[in-house]
Amino acid sequence: MADADDPRRGYHDIGGKDYGPIDPEVTEMKPWERQSTAISNALGAAGRHIYVTDESRRAREQMGEPLYSDLDYYERSTESMKMILVEKGLFTDEELEARMNEIAKRMAEARE
């Protein structure tokens, strides 16, 4: 969980480090990224209050460094939302994986 140089730091706590030059290019949100943001907003503090912003931040700090570093911004927020919804018992990991497989199949069929 901790930073390699300073065990008191979480891996998300990167202020003052040096991750190199800033790429100024700005990309548009992908449709699924907007979907994920909308679902999260509708379930979160601005909607059903199933969770609040601090919980989704806590999930980001709990997912582990390898996953945190591997995921991009919207992947991270989707992973955090999933972690919280599973914790709160809205669905199980197994249910979700099964549904993802089902949707992948449906989409593959639609592509044929």
Q: Write out the residues near another protein by the rule CB under 8 A.
A: 12-32, 34-39, 41-43, 45-48, 50, 52-54, 57, 60, 69-75, 78-79, 81-82, 85, 90-91, 95-96, 99-100, 102-104, 107-108, 110-111
Tell me how far, at minimum, the Cβ of 70 lies from another protein, in Å: 7
CB 58 within 8 A of CB 20: no
Angle at 77 (CA atoms; ends 55, 19), nearest 5 degrees? 105
Pick 7 or 55: Cβ nearer another protein: 55
Pick 39 or 62: Cβ nearer another protein: 39
Q: What are phi and psi of 2, to 5 degrees?
A: -90, 165
CB 61 within 8 A of CB 84: no
Q: For the chain, how long is the longest CA-to-CA vector?
A: 52
Tell me how far, at minimum, the Cβ of 28 lies from another protein, in Å: 8
- Picking from 50, 35, 45, 42, the residue whose alpha carbon sits closest to that of residue 85 is 50
Pick 6 or 54: Cβ nearer another protein: 54
Tell me how far, at minimum, the Cβ of 53 lies from another protein, in Å: 4
Tell me how far, at minimum, the Cβ of 110 lies from another protein, in Å: 5
